[in-house]
Amino acid sequence: MPTPSEVKDAWEKAKESIDSSDYEAALGALRTVWDTHAKEADVHQTWSLVADAEGIKATSTGRAGDYRKSIKHYEKALDKGAGKEVRRRMNRLRTEMDERGIGMGGFRLVDDGSPTIYGIFAIVAVGMLLLVSLRYSDEGLNLSSLFNNDDDTGQANYTGSDMAQLTISYVPQGSSSQETVVVMLALNRDAAPIHVDNFVKLAQRGDYDNTPFHRVIDDFMIQGGDFTNGDGTGGHGAQFYGYCDGTQTTEDCPNPTSYTIPDEADNGLLHQPCTISMAKTSQPNTGGSQFFLIPQDSTPDWLDGQHTVFGQITSGCSFITSISEVETGGQQGSTPVNAVTLESVIIS
């Protein structure tokens, strides 16, 4: 169905108003066309323009509700078929939200320093669980089973796991300024005990500090962790885990650079968006220190059962998506033009 001229005119008026930071005029133009051409206007151009206008409004007011409206409209635009530029604008707004400490809301426990109704409910629920744990502790009740359900991504919940805070610096696509962001990981020690132990020990030794993400592929993943060569040809396990260059042995490797770790790929964790997995060669049991993070727009399920997923991004996945879209080049076309640096990894 052709787009009516009235809708196109409204888009142009909205764009002009957005360019002049007049979000009210932009929203007014879009509301008018929606009232008269709702069906024809229900396309990604309209939703992305509404999101842009709401984003300008949010930046001006600083109100959490305005930010959340804008993000929801961006998500609607993406559902309607909007491209990567719209996703980049959404990611920039998410960055602004993170800088201001604004989340997407939902079941918030605290708002402006006071518990919400959900917070009050949570306090009561925790109290009840404590009573249950005291009553049944002698009977061996496993409270962790109460929380071990799958979430909406199909991944196991990570309650009680090791947490890792990654600080990463990069230059976003279309920008000339470097940004420093924080990404939080929950590492699943139950599902991948050796991988988590290896990652934690490397992090605690500082091996990951100031190392590059040497390989970045849009719509796929970002890879780093080569703390010896920095180009994907180096890195190794934190200690001897029974394997030297992928071969199982009872004797320690003659050189630490040969330390590899055994695969734990059949642990039930899948390569879903916002997860961390171990990089390795095509041969089994050849993981070392290199890992990759999967952005929001990638589901590389062909890696399931081959590479080991050992954690989930709990905060900052939009940054990983933004990093996956940076300008790249080099011989393989996957080397970031501007350095993407893992500045530190803190385990808690």
Is 150 domain-assigned? no
Q: What is the pLDDT of residue 270?
A: 96
Q: What is the pLDDT of residue 37?
A: 77
Residue 10 and residue 31: Cα distance in Å, rounded?
9
Are 225 and 290 part of one and the same domain?
A: yes
- Residue-wise pLDDT tens digits, 183-218: 999 999 999 999 999 999 999 999 999 999 999 999
DSSP helix/strand/coil, 307: strand
- Residue-wise pLDDT tens digits, 245-283: 999 999 999 999 999 999 999 999 999 999 999 999 999
Q: What domain range is 134 assigned to?
A: 110-139
Span 35-43, mean pLDDT? Answer: 78
95 pLDDT band, cuts 50/70/90, is confident
Is 256 domain-assigned? yes
Counting the structural domains of the chain, the total is 3
The winner for highest mean pLDDT among 69-78, 160-169, 310-319 is 310-319
Q: Which residue has the tokens 């076309």?
A: 333
Residue 321: CATH number of its domain? 2.40.100.10
Q: What is the pLDDT of residue 128?
A: 67
Sheet holding 243-244, edge to edge: 247-248, 243-244, 259-260
Are 255 and 335 part of one and the same domain?
A: yes
Output 283 or 10, whichever has higher pLDDT.
283
Residue 190 and residue 115: Cα distance in Å, rounded?
32
Are 178 and 323 part of one and the same domain?
A: yes
Sequential DSSP letters for 165-232 = EEEEEE--TT--S-EEEEEEEEE-TTT-HHHHHHHHHHHHTTTTTTEE--EEETTTEEEE---SSSSS
- Residue-wise pLDDT tens digits, 122-148: 666 666 666 655 554 444 433 333 333
- Residue-wise pLDDT tens digits, 233-254: 999 999 999 999 999 999 999 9
Which two structure tokens, joined as six digits, stand for 300?
């590389």
Q: What is the pLDDT of residue 103?
A: 66
